[in-house]
Amino acid sequence: MADPGQDFQLTDVIHREGLPRRRLIFAGISDKKCFLHYEMGGRGHSYYVVVFESGPSEATFIWGGTLLKPAATFPELQSNHYVATSLSDGNLAF
């Protein structure tokens, strides 16, 4: 996964070998949870959020979903209608 703002494979056309297909938008961590908000290139360039429960030695996947557009901030990500309805049990309540 490329760091925010770094080059990544945006389309199916390979311009430079070795570029990752995903690029981090932003991430966060609390005592019990962590999340990644990222974009993935390819034929259908898209945006994702995945949430994990974090423990001392491992992370367990809780939820993941596709977004229509990237969020600019964590509050914007939390208020996204799709994310909010899919996480009605508060998985994005950090």
Long-range contacts of 67-71 (CB under 8 A, 24+ apart): 67/37, 70/25, 70/37, 70/39, 71/25, 71/37
Q: Can you give the pLDDT at residue 83?
A: 63
Q: Which residues, in sequence order, are CB contacts of 53 under 8 Å at separation 6+? A: 32, 33, 59, 60, 62
> Residue 3 domain-assigned?
no
Q: Can you give the pLDDT at residue 75?
A: 87
> 38 has which bridge partners?
24, 48
> Residue 1 domain-assigned?
no
Q: What total number of domains does the chain contain? A: 1
The reported pTM is 0.80
Q: Which domain holds residue 50?
A: 22-86
> Residue 27 domain-assigned?
yes
Q: Can you give the pLDDT at residue 10?
A: 82
Q: Digits of tens for pLDDT over the chain (94 positions)?
A: 999 999 988 877 767 778 899 999 999 988 888 899 999 988 888 999 999 998 888 889 988 988 888 999 988 888 875 565 555 455 555 5
> Residue 78 domain-assigned?
yes
